[in-house]
Each structure stands twice: as C-alpha cells, then as structure tokens.
Structure 1
Amino acid sequence: MSITAIKSIKKITSLFVSSRRSDHVKLASMTLLLLVAIVSILAISSARADGNKTSNTPEPMLVRSGEKLIVPEKSPFRTRLKVAPVTMADVPHVVNFPAAVEANPSKTVNVLPPLTGRLSEVKVRLGDVVKQGQIVAVISSGDLAQAFSDLDKAKDALELARLALARGKGVNAAGANSVKDIEQLQSNYSQASAEAKRAETRLSSLGVDKVAEKSRTLNIMAPVSGTITAINNAPGAYINDATAAIMTISNLDSVWVTANVPESQLHSISKGQAVDIRLAAYPNKVIKGKVDIISSILEPDTRRNKTRIEANNKDGLLKPNMFATVSVLVPQAKQIRVPTSALLMNNDSITVFVEVAPWTFVRKTVTLGNEEPDSAAVLSGLNPGDKVVVSGGVLLND
C-alpha cells in the first residue's frame, strides 16, 4: 500500500475522533478521502501488473544488426545451429562417362563358308556355348563334289603314273628303253603326285571328315570355343558369297567396356588407370577395371574418344550391348571444402553463414568448384579457418 493511501486512511481516522464539525461534514470528508485511497491503491496495483507483464516477455530468437545476425543467449536457435570450421582437402573429383559392353574383337571370329552351296542345317542357336571343332552348320555344295572329283581323278592319275614308271624301269632294265623315256615317266609320276596332294589339301582345308566323304556334305566346324553372338542365315539359304559370315562366335570370358570420353575430358584418363564400372542391370554392383586402350582418334560424329576397359566376365553377367557407367577419380589440389548441408540458396547465388563472433553470423556468397555427394569445393568466398553453419542454417536463411 502506498504512503499516500496510508496517510489518507490515518487522516480519515483522526477526523472521526477529533473533528467538531457536523456529522454531515464528517461523512463527506471521510468519503472523499476514502475514494482517494482506493484510486491510489488501484493505480499502484496496475503499475505492478504492467511491470510483471514486461518482465515476462520472451527474448527475440534472432537480432539483426546491419549485415550481422545475432542469436541471443536464451534463443532456442542455439540448440539447433551447428558450427564447424572449413577444411582443406585434396578429395579426388569423380568423373563419369557413358559406356557400353562389347565383345572383345581379338576374341571374336566370324564363321565364313569355305565354298558356295545350300545351307542344309544350322545346328546351334543364338546364345549357345560351343567348343572348338563342334559342328555348327552343314552345307550341300556342288563345289564340294567338284573337290572330291578332283581328288579321285588325281589319285587315279597318280596310280597310272606309278604303274607306267614301274613298267618303264623294267623295260629299261632289259635294255629296251632309253634314259629319256624313264625321265619322262618319272616327271609324269611327280606331277600326278603333286596334283593328288593339292586335291587332298583342298579337302583338308574345307574340314572334310570321313562322314562328309560318304555324304558329300560339308560340316562347318567352330574354329574357336565361345558363345554364338550372331546367326546371319537360316537353313535352306543359298550361300553364294564366301566373304559373308554365316554366324559369329565370341569368347565372352572377358569383354570390353567401351567408355565414350568427351574431347574436353581426355586429360582425365590414362592407360592403366583404375576405374569403377556400374551397369544399369546391376545398380548395386561395382566392377573394378583398368583402362586398356585409348583410341588414337575421335569419332567424327560425336567428337568422343572410345576408351576401352577389359573386364573379367567368367560369371557371364556382362552381356554385349549393355549400358554402363565408367567412373574415374581425377586428383585435385588441396581446396577449401564445406559440407553440402552448409550451402544455401539466396536468390540466384549460393551462400553460407560465417561466424564472425560467438553466435554472430554474416552471410557470404561463395563460388563452388567440383561437388561430391557430401561436400563441395569452394573457389572463392571463404578463407582457411573460417567457421560456418553446417546444420540449421535454413533458420537463419528464413
């Protein structure tokens, strides 16, 4: 209670005791003084209530002072902001190139017909695995019949020349034949023998076996072991071009992964460089390899270099014409790096919040270099030793 109110109440009490005025005057004076005391008490109570209300007002969460953002001591932001110093690191930059799986040309053989004729049988299907010497097709050919005929004629001529030479030597031994006749008979025999060897070699080069000698058909054998990757003719087709392949056999135990490297990225690759291969068919599988061949030319239509990586394919997972991605690590000089969580968009620029004093931050625009999934290189805007907000920066950004 205020001093004024107390004095008023005392004065009212003394009036009751000592005043000689009339009762009406006493009552009016008492009423007036009582009202003054009540008003004074109410004013003091209101002032105290306003004071308590002002003291219960919470502190602001963020205070702006020019370019600086200050987080007050009791601001809830202090528990949600995380600050860390920037780091200097030489994290290699990952460069990805589109690629495709190809059969190794050095282990791919086109099966050509050794002569013309009708393709009577195809004994394999696309994707079949064959062994060297296995029959893959059968051809009925007039050329084969001619080759057999040539051999039969050559053998008959050789036998006739052998008999003639033997008779000539007998006559010469009896003294009834000249040396000239013997020399001619010897020459005839030598020529017949050479012709017989030529005919045999011809049939041997065609891969004719004893079964073919009887059926007069030509069995086409697999020249190498591998997988049938292409079949270009069906049974009944007439083969009239000895340079056109009937089918293709590829050994897929190892394959090429061919990366298409842009002209501007050729400096990123080198022979023997380790690479990671990822395939669309197996997104969770990483295949290790090394650069085997860097083409000496660029493709004229794409302006890209075909860089080939030999990959082991014993399990058969890599199939020709699969799409792949080849990743290489390009060494980098030491750079300032910040976590990607520290980067914030501000209009068209990328910014970070730098701590310039305890719980005082300033926004700075940065220029980024190469970016990785969890960090980015900063080319300008930060200095070594700077501390940046790495978590919760969006609160300051808003």
Structure 2
Amino acid sequence: MTRFLASDRPGRPHGHPHDRPHGLHQRHPLLAAAWPVGGLLISVAMAACNGPAETQAAVATPATAAPQPAPVRREGNLIVVPEGSPLRERLQVAEIALQPLQTRLSAPATIEAEPEKLVRITPPVAGRLVRLHHQLGDAVKAGDALITMDSSEISSVRAEHAKSQAALLHARQEFDRQKLLFDAEIAARKDYEAAQQSLAAAGADARAASDHLSQLGAAVQEGSRGSYVVKSPISGRVVEMAGSQGGYWNDVNASVMTVADLRKVWLSASVSERDLAHVDVGQQAHIALAAYPDLQLQGRVQYVGELVDTATRSVKVRVAVDNPEGRLRPGMFARVGFDAPARQALMVPAAALLQGQVSTRVFVDKGGWRFEPRDVQVGAQQDGQAEILSGLAAGERVVVNGGVLLQ
C-alpha cells in the first residue's frame, strides 16, 4: 500500500492541488485516514534499511591491544628479566660478604652412671639368700647390710681359717718353749730350729686361710658357720634387683642387686673425628634430652677418649652433669652440643637458597637484569643465614627474595 500511495508522477512536488491523492482523499476517506500511518511505516522501513550500515559506520573499531612482554627470557645460561616485566618489582638483590659464624657441634649421647658410683653386688660364693635387707629404689649408705646368705662353702672356709689359727697358736707356744730350753742349754739346737720352722709354716697356712676369707668379703668373718652378710660399699640407691629372698643363688658371676649414686651422671657422646679439634676437657656442653624436650642442661667435658672407633670414625667424650632431682637415668638418649670458636664464613640469607632434587642453587646478579643460576654447597645455618662452602665469592650479588620466580 505504501508503494501504491507513492506512485506520483516524476517531477511534481508532493501536496500539489492536482495530485491524485487529493482526488482519492475525496473519493476514499478510509485511504485518506491511512495516509499518516503509511507515512510513518515508510519512515520506519527506510530507517530499517539504512540503520545497520549507518550504525556500523558510527561504531568505532576497537584498537588492537599491545602485546605484553614475557616475564623472563633465556639468553644462553642467563635468565633475563626484560623491561616492563612485573618481576622487576618483585626481585630483591643483596651483596654477600664474610661474617663471623659461631657454630655448635652436635653429637648423639647416652646417659651413664659414673663408673666409680655404680656397684654390682655379686655374692662371692653360691648359697641361699636368707634375707634381702633392701628393695628396689631404697636409699642405702656405705656399710649398710644388703644381703644375708647361708653357704656351705663359707662353713668350709671358716673351718679352715679356725684350724689354721689353732695350728698357729700351737706352733707359737712350742717355739716359745723350745726357745726357753735352748737358751737354758737344755734343749738341742735341732729341736729349737724345728720349732722355728713349724711356726713359720703355721703362720703361712694361717695367712692363706685369712686371705681366702678376705676374698669373700670382710663381712663374711661375722656371724656363725655358713651365714654371712654382704654390705654396700657406697651410698646410693638400689637400682637393680635380680634375686628373691629365700631363693638359691648359684651364679657367682651375676649380680643380685646394683647400687648406684646418680646425683651426678655422665653423658657418653660419640664425637666425629673431624670435630674433635673443637672439643677439650673443661669445655662447656649443652644437653638436650629426648625424654624432656623442654629441659636444657649444662655440663663440663670430663674426658676425651684416646682411641678412634674405626667403624664410626668417632671418639667417646664424657660430660659430667649434675642430677640432683634424679630425672636423668642411665640409658636415656640425649644430644650434646659443643660451642666451636667463632670463624669468618661467607653467609647468604637462607631465603636465597633454592633446593633442587640433587643440588642447591642461587641466582647471581650479572648486571642489566641478567641472572646466572649457580649451584652452591651449603654448610652451617644460623639465625636465618646459611654458610656457603663453595660456589660463590665475597662481593657477588645474589637474589635474596623472589628467586623462585626465575626458575
């Protein structure tokens, strides 16, 4: 309908009095009423036809974004951080130098009783344990009775001793008598000399019997027949008990009980041969115990071994430690530290070290935002610093923060 209404003659302007639409307006009122609507539709149609092209022309084509530089690039063995890389704001570089290093040598150790303060009570002869005077954990003093035993061997030894003493007495009396007679020129010289020899022999037998008795302990001489008492040679506590009262003890090489004075103990440390030059008698030692992680103890080196263990290449070092509360027990594990003399060492912040599967490396600043990865050998560590044994030289600059971003 729009095309139909627009079929005007070429060259005549719209709205002329002789135009056909004027006649139609008179003859077709409905068509005349539709004219404004038709004009609107024509405008919309023209806009629809022209709109996309005009819209595309009006909208500006967006500019192509500039390419971002790579964070790093490789030039041979060097890592380069190009201009504009965000890593330039995140890397920190510092110069390394020699610094005083106070190291502490550490060695495994076990607690031991002082040898002269630990006694294993072993009966000298087999026999029945008539009485155990103390139980496990009891405190004892030197000279206190520990065990009363009854033994047939003791009876025999005592009988031998008594017999030898009687023979000695008889020989002495006979000698005295023969001497009086000889001095009075009544007895012959041979009788006097025979009495003298008998006295000497009896004396030897008596001394042998006494020695045999003494080997069984001085306390054996007390009591009657086969009964004897074993006394404690030191003050301390009963720390082991193997026998039972009333039982028979026939192993003269095994101890019935053990008495120890643990008010002071030893730590026996195995110090590596290469660290031995830094350990000496009188040196202070720092002790950490597996049983008491929060307990820090101090001690003094009492003895440095004379022999090197060929299997472990270590030397035994004994440290004396006060133990007034008795918390340190023989057999406990510990670690002992010895302060070595301060020395100059090449140090880097531990954060600069990058641990690989087979090596440790750092990044060395070569200038111009170029960095060289370099393997290093690390020694002792102290207060966030690590000792460099090889791979770096004093005065070189290394990445101390952000080095992991260069990998």
Same fold (TM over 0.5): yes
Q: In structure 1, what is the equivalent of residue 346 of structure 2?
A: 336
For 1:50-95, what per-residue CA distance to the aligned partner results, in whole angstroms no more than 9, with x for missing partners?
35x74xx79658354743224748x4862x5444332421313433
Alignment partner of 1:282: what SS? Answer: coil
Distance 1:216 1:333 in 2: 69
Distance 2:68 2:186 in 1: 138
Distance 2:135 2:104 in 1: 42
Identical amino acids, percent of aligned pairs: 29
Gaps of 5+ in 2: 1-10, 15-48
Match of 2:372 among 349, 355, 363: 363
Alignment partner of 1:281: what SS? Answer: coil
For 1:194-215, what per-residue CA distance to the aligned partner results, in whole angstroms no more than 9, with x for missing partners?
89x97999878845499x6369
Match of 2:80 among 60, 65, 68: 68
Whether the 8 Å contact between 1:130 and 1:225 is mirrored in structure 2 is yes
Name the CA shift for 1:394/1:111 in 2 (closer, same or farther; >3 Å): same
Does 1:372 pair with 2:381? yes
Name the CA shift for 1:157/1:98 in 2 (closer, same or farther; >3 Å): closer
Match of 1:130 among 132, 140, 154: 140
Name the CA shift for 1:218/1:272 in 2 (closer, same or farther; >3 Å): same
Give the number of aligned pairs: 354
Name the CA shift for 1:43/1:106 in 2 (closer, same or farther; >3 Å): farther
| Matches for 1:1-398 after TM superposition, within 5 Å | 46=60, 50-51=62-63, 54=65, 62=71, 64=73, 66=75, 67-70=79-82, 72=84, 75=86, 78=89, 80-146=90-156, 206-208=217-219, 213=223, 217-235=227-245, 236-239=247-250, 241=252, 244-331=254-341, 333-345=343-355, 348-356=358-366, 360-372=369-381, 374-397=384-407
What's the offset of the Cα at 1:321?
Answer: 1.1
What's the offset of the Cα at 1:309?
Answer: 1.6
Whether the 8 Å contact between 1:207 and 1:218 is mirrored in structure 2 is no
Alignment partner of 2:142: what SS? Answer: coil
Larger Cα Rg: Structure 1 or Structure 2?
2
Name the CA shift for 1:125/1:81 in 2 (closer, same or farther; >3 Å): farther
Name the CA shift for 1:129/1:270 in 2 (closer, same or farther; >3 Å): same
Distance 2:328 2:83 in 1: 57
For 1:253-285, what per-residue CA distance to the aligned partner results, in whole angstroms no more than 9, with x for missing partners?
222211123444444433333332222112232
Whether the 8 Å contact between 2:377 and 2:391 is mirrored in structure 1 is no
- Root mean square deviation, CA, Å: 4.9
Q: TM-score, normalised by structure 2?
A: 0.65
Gaps of 5+ in 1: 1-20, 25-34
What's the offset of the Cα at 1:159?
Answer: 9.8
Name the CA shift for 1:129/1:301 in 2 (closer, same or farther; >3 Å): farther
What's the offset of the Cα at 1:116?
Answer: 4.3
Alignment partner of 2:81: what SS? Answer: strand
What's the offset of the Cα at 1:380?
Answer: 4.0
Distance 1:310 1:275 in 2: 9
Name the CA shift for 1:93/1:285 in 2 (closer, same or farther; >3 Å): same
Name the CA shift for 1:86/1:240 in 2 (closer, same or farther; >3 Å): closer
